[in-house]
Amino acid sequence: DAGITQSPRHKVTETGTPVTLRCHQTENHRYMYWYRQDPGHGLRLIHYSYGVKDTDKGEVSDGYSVSRSKTEDFLLTLESATSSQTSVYFCAISEGGGGTDTQYFGPGTRLTVL
Amino acid sequence: DAKTTQPTSMDCAEGRAANLPCNHSTISGNEYVYWYRQIHSQGPQYIIHGLKNNETNEMASLIITEDRKSSTLILPHATLRDTAVYYCIVRVRTNAGKSTFGDGTTLTVKP
C-alpha cells in the first residue's frame, strides 16, 4: 500500500469552528489531492497540489483552503465549519499529473459538524 | 473530462466472472479510462486503466470498444471480497487533478 496517512481519522466539531485535516505521504509524489465523499455518492475533488506551494481548485472548493509547505504534507482547512461540510474526506497522491499516473488514496477522515 | 454512466448495482455469483459496463460516449482521444473500487468506506483502490487497447493485470481485465465509447471491467473469478463500489472514470492525459468520480456500480458477490 502507498504510504499515505490522514489525521485525524475521526473528528466531531461545532459549526463555526476552524478545522484542519492533514495528509502525510512517504512516497515523495508530486501531486496530492483532497476529495470529499458524501453518503451514497462518489468522490468530488476539493483542491489539489502539483508541487510545494502550488495548488489549484477542484469542483467543490468553496469554504475550503489548502496549503502545502512540504512535499510530504498537504493540509485542508475549513475556516469556519458548516454542517454541509459533514463528510468523509480522502487524500490521494500521484507521482505525476498525467493520464497514466495512478492515484493512491488514504484511509479517509470522517468529519461531523454539529 | 468526459462523463461516465454506470449501472447503479449488479449482482454476481461467487466464482463467476463479473462484467461491469461503463459508458463514456463523449470521451476524447487524449482521455484514459480508469477503474477504481471502494470497499466499505475505505479509500478507493486502483484496479486498471487503458487508452484504447485491452488491458489485463493480476486483478482484472479492461475491454475498451473500438470506438472507445464504452468499456467493460472483467473480474474473472469473483469472490465475496470483491463486493464493493466500482468507479469508472476518464482522465485527461495531462490533467489528473480534474478526475471526476461518479456514483459507481455497487457490485454484490453472492455465495
For residues A44 and A37, the answer to whether their CB atoms sit within 8 Å is yes
Residue B28's pLDDT is 86
- Res. A98: pLDDT tops 80: no
For residues A79 and A63, the answer to whether their CB atoms sit within 8 Å is yes
pLDDT band, residue A18 (cuts 50/70/90): very high
pLDDT band, residue A99 (cuts 50/70/90): low
Mean pLDDT for the stretch of residues B23-47: 89
- Res. B98: pLDDT tops 70: no
Q: Does A35 touch chain B (CB under 8 A)?
A: yes
Residue B40's pLDDT is 85
Residue B96's pLDDT is 56
pLDDT tens digit sequence for B77-90: 999 999 999 999 88
- Res. A64: pLDDT tops 60: yes
- Res. B75: pLDDT tops 80: yes
Residue B38's pLDDT is 93
- Res. B94: pLDDT tops 80: no
Chain B CB contacts of A42 under 8 Å are 87, 100-104
Q: Which of A79, A81, A55 is nearest to A67 (CA)?
A: A55
How many residues does this entry show for chain A?
A: 114
For residues B86 and B101, the answer to whether their CB atoms sit within 8 Å is no
With b meaning 16 or more CB within 10 Å and e meaning fewer, what string describes A41-58?
Answer: ebbbbbbbbbeeeebeeb
Contact (CB<8Å) B91/A99 = yes
Q: Which of B79, B72, B57 is nearest to B12 (CA)?
A: B79
| Residue B89: its H or E element | strand B84-92
For residues A110 and A9, the answer to whether their CB atoms sit within 8 Å is yes
Cell of B89: 472514470
Q: Does A96 touch chain B (CB under 8 A)?
A: yes
For residues B14 and B98, the answer to whether their CB atoms sit within 8 Å is no
Look-up: residue for cell 487524500? A91
**Cα dihedral sign, A91-B68-B59-A102:** negative
- Res. A3: pLDDT tops 60: yes
- CA distance linking residue A70 with residue B23, whole number of Å: 39
Contact (CB<8Å) B103/A41 = yes
